[in-house]
């Protein structure tokens, strides 16, 4: 996947998560989860952009680890919202799937760079 594609994909993920929160019932439980999920989903893209400007492979990995954590957190809150708003599950599941796909890409990227670092220099 091209860097620009993932940059756009993480941006669109944050937009979609934010829009989802606008469609769910605004109640005591959801309200607290909305605040957290909006922050974590936006952090995915923001930290991915920061990773692209890393100063070294080690810095890149460290920043991608933050993306990994924020993506996983967002997926968790999506799963929580799906459990608490079962009538809206059809709208939430595609975002869970997208977050999971982004997470897999980030983990694979971390693995690739780690393998590159650990290979002996020729």
Topology (CATH level 3) of domain 3-114: de novo design (two linked rop proteins) (1.20.1440)
Is residue 99's pLDDT more than 90? yes
Is residue 1's pLDDT more than 80? no
pLDDT of residue 3: 64
Would the pTM of this model clear 0.85, i.e. be above it? yes
pLDDT of residue 118: 87
CA angle 55, 58, 62 (to 5 degrees): 95
Which residues 6+ apart lie within 8 Å of 22 measured at CB? none
Domain ranges of the chain: 3-114
Q: Who has greater pLDDT, 118 or 33?
A: 33
Distance CA 50, CA 44 (A): 10
């Amino acid at each position: 996947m091209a860097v620009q594609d993932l940059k756009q994909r993480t941006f669109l993920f944050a937009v979609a998560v934010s829009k989802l929160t606008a469609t769910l019932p605004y109640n005591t439980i959801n309200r607290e989860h909305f605040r957290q999920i909006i922050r974590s989903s936006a952090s995915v893209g923001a930290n991915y952009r920061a990773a692209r400007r890393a100063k070294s492979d080690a810095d890149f990995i460290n920043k991608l680890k933050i993306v990994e954590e924020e993506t996983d957190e967002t997926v968790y809150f999506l799963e929580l919202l799906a459990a608490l708003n079962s009538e809206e599950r059809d709208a939430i599941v595609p975002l869970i799937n997208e977050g999971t796909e982004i997470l897999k890409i980030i983990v694979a990227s971390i693995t690739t760079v780690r393998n590159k670092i650990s290979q002996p220099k020729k």
